[in-house]
Chains A and B, each alone.
Chain A
Amino acid sequence: MIWYTGKRLLQMIPVFFGATFLIYFMVFSLPGDPIAALYGDRPPAPGVIEQIRAQYNLDKPFVVQYFIYIGNFFQGDLGTTYSGRPVSAEMARAFPITGRLALLALAIEAIFGILVGLIAGLRKGKLFDNNALVVSLLLISVPTFVIGFVLQYVFAVQLGWARTTVSSEAPLSELLLPALVLASVSFAYIVRLTRASVSDNLNADFVRTATAKGLSRRRVVGVHVLRNSLVPVVTFLGVDLGALMVGAIVTEGIFNINGVGGTVYKAIKLGEGPTVVSFIAVMVVIFVLANLLVDLLYAALDPRIRYAK
């Protein structure tokens, strides 16, 4: 396990540099001038452009810029937004809110997704299963922002059960509705994944053995079927974090939440390139780290993975 962990950690280094370089490259060496974009239709005085370029190190060669950026990144300096606030301070303010939202969404999708998937898998072909499949297909095919608007309209505007926009403190009770929106698509995927793997495992030899040993159905399902069915679900949760981040941008935009996603949403709308890059670079790093964690968890859950290579 130690060797496996070390190997995975080493493999992550080029991915980290590659991914951040890629994002940095995209923003700063492609056609389109982020500084000019800042000024919209009216070009600023020439001296101003030079000054801003120097301030953001845009006058230096591209690779140098990147290494300055990465060096600062590791020192916790993520640059400043165009309004002058340090990105790290913005992050520190925004992150707890998004963290709460994401954890709430993860809890909702994991608990309900696995539960519904398990029941559907156990009752394959029955009414519950068919309904679960139809609902999950619908949830996947409706984009998150449409679900967001509809739920906001129904629960906040029509029924008045929740607030249409979340206050700046963003307590858990107000985050429930946005979390539901954020969880919806992944919930559908988890239902389908759990259902498929439960119905696969029901026919597995170890389940027949467990039943033949005289174990109760509760124990067979709870211990043997469910535990083995959770392995693909855990892997999915890692990949799903990427979808959750995009979903957070959309959801926080809709509900006007002051989290990471909401900040990125506003930065995109205002065309603040560097802010978008800094935030998304941090998101990508979190994504890479989370997937490493999932890989390790996966290897811990299923010893065959570790010994395969």
Chain B
Amino acid sequence: MPNKNPNAQTHYVAALEETPVETVDRLDESQKARSTWADAWDAMRVRPTFWISSALILLIVIVALFPSLFAQVSPTQCELGDSHDGPADGHPLGFTRQGCDIYARIIFGTQASVTVGLLATMLVTFTGIVVGSLAGYYGGILDAIVSRIGDIFFAVPTVLGAIVLMSVLPERTPVTIALVLSLFAWPQIARIMRGAVLSARNSDYVTASVALGVSKFRILLRHVIPNSIAPVIVIATVSLGTFIVAEATLSFLGIGLPPDIMSWGNDIDAAKSSLRTNPQVLLYPAAALSVTVLAFLMLGDVVRDALDPEARARR
């Protein structure tokens, strides 16, 4: 904006007598400055959604780690005579078409879904942060090459690419699914990270570090990355849920986990033929899947609100 009067004050500073002295006095300068994370924590912990979703996620992770604590019945010991039977003593949700205990299968299926979600998220986040920050921070040819490669992977929708790759891979385990999904999903995080690093690179604290003689790489590690990681954390939390849905979709298409690995996607796929007579066989694992995804989406919402000061002000 052109300034017509060169002597005009561009920044308005309150006159001394207008400054409430007691506010200034109350400031404790010996106290450590509050970080974004401390602020975010304060914003999050007053939200009931945060506690509900965290408790759910904790429960889901415990179930995934120790399924036998929650189900005494074996999920693979199935009596065909029990096929499609309703709830019975010790079998709260009834039986599948093969006569397996639905509840036990849901409990033991947690592991596969959570493994895919967590592993894919960690892979994508790590790759995205490394690639995005190096490209954004060093720029030049590295940035050009990395960004173009990212564009190529970005042009293939994640699940479409995964469908192609999974339909030719000879071995299908939770690990390979996580690898395949992250292969097509990393550019999103890398792009966000690159953008955040680009704007952090020119901040005053970076200039100050350069003036102090800190090495370039150390500035990146100690100052630039910690200050640009917030938007990545938000996307990562939400994408965990979408990875779980993607795994289930692949299993539903028959190119996800093989049938001998228990997973919600496989159980839903197996139940689709008996949907008309016994919809509950399909609905219970679907509900387990949806609740898990919902927990991560809700947490993602809260984290976004907490890490984005604008969103916090708007609430």
Interface digits, A100-125 against B, CB 8 Å rule (1 contact, 0 not)?
00000000000000000000000000
B157→A287 contact, CB < 8 A: yes
* Binary B-proximity of A136-174 (CB < 8 A = 1, otherwise 0): 011011111110011011000100000000000000000
Give A288 Cβ to nearest chain B Cβ, in Å. 5
Please tell me the number of chain B residues within 8 Å of chain A, measured between CB atoms.
Answer: 44
- Closest chain B residue, CB of each to CB of A124: B314
Contacting residues, chain A, for B167 (C-beta < 8 A): 268, 271, 273, 276
Q: A280-B163, A284-B160 are known contacts. Are A199 and B314 too (CB-CB below 8 A)?
A: yes
Residues of chain A with a CB closer than 8 A to B254's CB = 268-269
Return the chain A residue nearest B298 by Cβ: A137
A226 at the B interface (CB under 8 A): no
Would A32 and B170 be within 8 Å (CB), given that A18-B155, A145-B252 are in contact? yes
Restricting to B41-96, which residues have a CB under 8 Å from any CB of A?
Answer: none
Q: For residue B279, which residues in chain A have a CB less than 8 angstroms away from its CB?
A: 150, 153
B164 touches A26 (CB 8 A): yes
Are B168 and A32 in contact (CB-based, < 8 A)?
yes
Query: A141-B297, A265-B253, A287-B157 known; A18 and B276 CB under 8 Å?
Result: no
Kindly state whether residue B293 has any CB partner on chain A within 8 Å. Answer: yes
Tell whether A15 is near chain B: CB-to-CB under 8 Å.
yes
Flag A247-274 by CB within 8 Å of B: 1 or 0 each. Answer: 0011001000000000011001101010
* Interface size of A as a range: 35 or more
| Contact across chains for B152 and A14 when beta carbons are under 8 A apart | yes
Question: Which residues of chain B are within 8 angstroms of A15 by Cβ–Cβ distance?
Answer: 148, 151-152, 155
The CA of A284 and the CA of B158, in the complex, are separated in Å by: 11
Residue of B nearest to A277 (CB): B164
Q: B249 touching A145 by the CB < 8 A rule?
A: yes
Shortest distance from the beta carbon of A79 to any chain B beta carbon, whole Å: 15
The complex places the Cα of A284 from the Cα of B164 at a distance, in Å, of 12
B155 touches A287 (CB 8 A): yes
Instruction: For A154, give the chain B residue with the smallest CB separation.
Output: B279
The answer to whether A27 and B275 touch across the interface, beta carbons within 8 angstroms, is: no
Given contacts A141-B293, A141-B297, A287-B157, contact A153 B275 (CB under 8 A): yes
User: Judging by beta carbons under 8 Å apart, are A19 and B155 in contact?
Assistant: yes
Q: How far is the CA of A142 from the CA of B170 in the complex (A)?
A: 29
Question: Quick one: given A143-B248, A149-B282, A249-B253, are A280 and B170 in contact (CB under 8 Å)?
Answer: no
Q: Mark B123-157, 1 if CB is under 8 A from A, else 0.
A: 00000000000000000000000001101110111
Which B residues lie within 8 Å of A149 (CB)? 272, 275, 282
Q: Which of B148, B157, B272 is in CB contact (< 8 Å) with A246?
A: B157
The total of Cβ contacts below 8 Å across the A-B interface reads 140
**Residues B157 and A243 in contact, CB atoms below 8 Å apart:** yes
Taken together as a complex, chains A and B put the C-alpha atoms of A142 and B292 apart, in Å, by 10
Measured between beta carbons, the chain B residues less than 8 angstroms from A246 are: 157, 159-160, 163, 249
Contact mask for chain B residues 281-297; partner A; CB cutoff 8 A; 1 contact, 0 none = 01100100111011001
A18 near B151 (CB under 8 angstroms)? yes
Across-interface contacts of A199 in B (CB, < 8 A): 314
User: Cβ of A31 < 8 Å from any Cβ of B?
Assistant: yes
Q: Which residues of A contact B276 (CB under 8 A)?
A: 153, 157
A85 to chain B, nearest CB (A): 19
For the complex, give the distance between the alpha carbons of A276 and B160 in Å: 10
CB contacts (< 8 Å) of A265 on chain B: these are 253
A273–B166 CA distance with the chains assembled, in angstroms: 10
Contact indicator B293/A19 (Cβ below 8 Å): no
- Given A153-B276, A268-B167, A276-B163: A19 and B294 within 8 A (CB)? no
Residues of B contacting A145 in the complex (Cβ-Cβ under 8 angstroms): 248-249, 252, 268
- Say yes or no: is B241 at the interface (Cβ < 8 Å to chain A): yes
Q: Mark A1-43, 1 if CB is under 8 A from B, else 0.
A: 0000000000100111011001100110011101001000000
B307 at the interface (CB under 8 A from A): no
How far, in whole Å, are A273 and B167 apart by their CA atoms in the complex?
7
Q: Please give the residue numbers on chain A whose beta carbons come within 8 Å of chain B beta carbons, in ascending order.
A: 11, 14-16, 18-19, 22-23, 26-27, 30-32, 34, 37, 137-138, 140-146, 149-150, 152-153, 157, 199-200, 203, 242-243, 245-246, 249-250, 253, 264-265, 268-269, 271, 273, 276-277, 280, 283-284, 287-288, 291
Can you show 14 pairs from A to B with CB atoms below 8 A apart?
A: A37-B168, A137-B297, A142-B293, A145-B252, A149-B272, A149-B275, A157-B275, A199-B314, A243-B159, A246-B163, A265-B253, A276-B164, A287-B156, A288-B155
Chain B residues close to A by CB (< 8 Å): 148-149, 151-153, 155-161, 163-165, 167-170, 241, 245, 248-249, 252-255, 268, 272, 275-276, 279, 282-283, 286, 289-291, 293-294, 297-298, 301, 314
What are the nearest 4 A-B pairs in CB distance? Answer: A242-B157, A18-B152, A141-B293, A141-B294
